[in-house]
Amino acid sequence: MGWNSWDAYGLTIGEADFRANATVLAGLKQFGWQYAVIDEGWYMENPFGDKVETRKYVWDGNGILIPVVSRFPSSADGAGFKPLADWVHSQGLKFGIHIVRGIPRQVVDANLPVAGSGFHAMDAADKSSPCPWDEGNWGVADNAAGQAYYDSMLKLYAAWGLDYIKVDCISDHPYRPTEIKQIAAAIRKTGRPIVLSLSPGPTQLEHAAEVGEYAQMWRISDDHWDAWTFTHKPGESEFPFGVRDAFDRLAKWFPYVKAGNWPDEDMLPWGWLGPHPGLGEPRQSRETQDEQKTEFALWAIARSPLILGANLTKLDDLSRSLVTNQAMLFMNQNVTYSHPLDAAGLPPGFEHARVWRATIDAPGARNYKEFFGFFNLDDLPVTLHATWKQLGLDGDKHQAQNLWTDSAEKESKEIKVTLPAHGSAVFQVK
């Protein structure tokens, strides 16, 4: 649970804006929000440049990217992000950054030494595997020099106080398992617990076991943005990815969700996306209120990471009501198993609906709890009607408490819920 700068600031986040957003996040930490993450671009002097040369990357004498002092003044005199990370920690939060995997091409051209080793940048570079959609870096070679480069990088970043690192161009287009393993090994060597988040999606299902061995989070779709659905022509990529499509994607990944392994459906693009969003013009989220609630409910019951994308300094009332919904957050953080119900087993009337069931512990356990999420994927309102037995529950009658309204239904053999277009309802069932 946390906040990432990409959806609101793109490449442009600076220290003042980051501190302002993290201050709001700190006010939400009682609800579980804790990771404050600076996404791509913190090492660029000119994030508005049209190519890598004009963006002017900044690195140290060993070719490791460091923050730009003009954008992050506390990093002056070689301090890096340590002063900012210390401040984040003082707020009761955890600190994260984004990198694109690899080694800067200009560092390789200069053949800078790799810290703590006898290697140089040319020894560590793999020019056969650049990121195809980011011209800044060469890949890192699967050899001792490559490992030494990642070791030196993570040693420096861990010394700053890093708690979370999002590594891009590594989990798909292309899938780069050698560098995943190198980065995971480098993190272990630091002795510091650092969450490893892999991007972009869609990570392929056949890689689930491997990414789960080395990372704690991995993206299962391409970048998720603020629309119910996006139209893509046959053969095109799935970028950008909408709310509607997330249902089918999360349904495929539920068997791989467990403690320490969180298939990631990407940030929640709510509220004000500005001043420089990672996609499009500054705007209020294009999702309707019902779509935002549905998105939150699906992420929560499917146990996807909850990473906010909104500009928190302009948090609207709806977004605030969602991020402080203790019942929904309790479910997300404590469920031990969740899965979508098989559509073939649902009664008539559910043709354009989805149902998720989640539990805390097993029946008979002291902390056992049941949750059901009902989702309307249709463009028109729908009334869903089913007996609890049809939904898989034992026993005769059950009571349902609505997590949106905190209201409780009378004990009954059945559930009947009317949902608006793209709407949802989540119940704790007793």
What average pLDDT does the segment 266-287 reach? 98
Share of the chain above pLDDT 90, in %: 97
Sign of the CA dihedral running 210, 213, 215, 219: positive
Q: Cβ distance 7 to 267 under 8 Å? A: yes
CA nearest to 217, candidates 184, 191, 176, 186: 184
What average pLDDT does the segment 140-149 reach? 98
Kindly report, residue by residue over 27-71, the tens digit of the pLDDT.
999 999 999 999 999 999 999 999 999 999 999 999 999 999 999
Q: Which residues pair with 415 in a beta bridge?
A: 386
* Residue 130 tokens, joined: 């650049």
Of 237-246, 291-300, 374-383, 405-414, minimum mean pLDDT range: 405-414
pLDDT of res. 60 = 98
Judged against a pLDDT cut of 90, whether residue 259 lies above it is answered with: yes
Q: What residues contact residue 195 under an 8 Å CB cut-off, 6+ apart?
A: 35, 96, 163, 164, 165, 216, 217
Crossing angle for the helix pair 144-160 and 177-190, nearest 10 degrees? 50
Q: Residue 261 is which amino acid? A: N
What average pLDDT does the segment 167-189 reach? 98
CA 238-225-95 angle, to 5 degrees, is 115
In 94-227, at which residue ranges do the beta strands (DSSP E only) sit?
A: 94-100, 103-104, 125-126, 137-140, 164-168, 195-198, 217-219
Task: Band the pLDDT of 363: cuts 50, 70, 90.
Answer: confident
All structural domains of the chain: 2-334 (3.20.20.70), 338-429 (2.60.40.1180)
Task: Band the pLDDT of 78: cuts 50, 70, 90.
Answer: very high
Judged against a pLDDT cut of 90, whether residue 325 lies above it is answered with: yes
Task: Band the pLDDT of 409: cuts 50, 70, 90.
Answer: confident
Task: Band the pLDDT of 298: cuts 50, 70, 90.
Answer: very high
- Extract long-range pairs of 67-75: CB within 8 Å, 24+ residues apart: 67/42, 67/43, 68/42, 68/43, 68/44, 70/45, 71/13, 71/14, 71/15, 71/42, 71/45, 72/14, 72/15, 72/42, 73/15, 74/15
Q: Cβ distance 52 to 135 under 8 Å? A: yes
pLDDT of res. 364 = 85
* Backbone φ, ψ for residue 100 (5° rounding): -95, 130
CA nearest to 270, candidates 328, 333, 227, 300: 227
